[in-house]
Amino acid sequence: MIPENMKKLRDMLQRHEGLRLVPYQDTRGIWTMGWGHNVQAHGEPIPSIISFHDAEWLFEQDFAVACSGVEVLLHSMGITVDDVRFSALVDLCFNMGINGVKTFKKMLANLQTAKYSEASIELLNSKYATQVGKRADELAHMLSTGTWMI
């Protein structure tokens, strides 16, 4: 991925997730902090507050996991996408984990055959889209057009 797109992806993720230095429970009741870091997934104790530096460190760890997960999934399915569509999938993975992304079987099947508009429709027709609203609209735009909205 070219550095300019890597920066856009990081900025988009941080905008979508929002920064909270004090732990909170997300819409599913999962303890979260920083930029969307799921504390419970890692069995970590829930601190009362974290520093900006700690939030950055957690973000970089979660970002690497999301990128790697998407790379492995795409490779295993024989899917090749451009940086923008890859970024949309990383955002989705960052938010719901790679196992969550794998549940989008029709979306992934459409990506396999480069049916990008159909892939974006599958994303928009999901429960996920009703939960995240404009975030899903942005990701669907990216999947459909291969262009950034930001």
* Fold classified for 3-145: Lysozyme (1.10.530)
pLDDT at 20: 96
Instruction: Say how far apart CA 101 and CA 104 lie, in whole Å.
Output: 6
Q: What are the sequence ranges of the domains in the chain?
A: 3-145
pLDDT at 150: 66
Per-residue pLDDT of the chain (150 residues; tens, 9 = 90+): 788 999 999 999 999 999 999 999 988 888 999 999 999 887 878 888 999 999 999 999 999 999 999 999 999 999 999 999 999 999 999 999 999 999 999 999 999 999 999 999 999 999 999 999 999 999 999 999 999 986
pLDDT at 60: 96
On the 0-12 / 13-18 / 19+ scale of CB atoms within 10 A, 13 is buried
- At residue 33, the 3 state secondary structure works out as strand
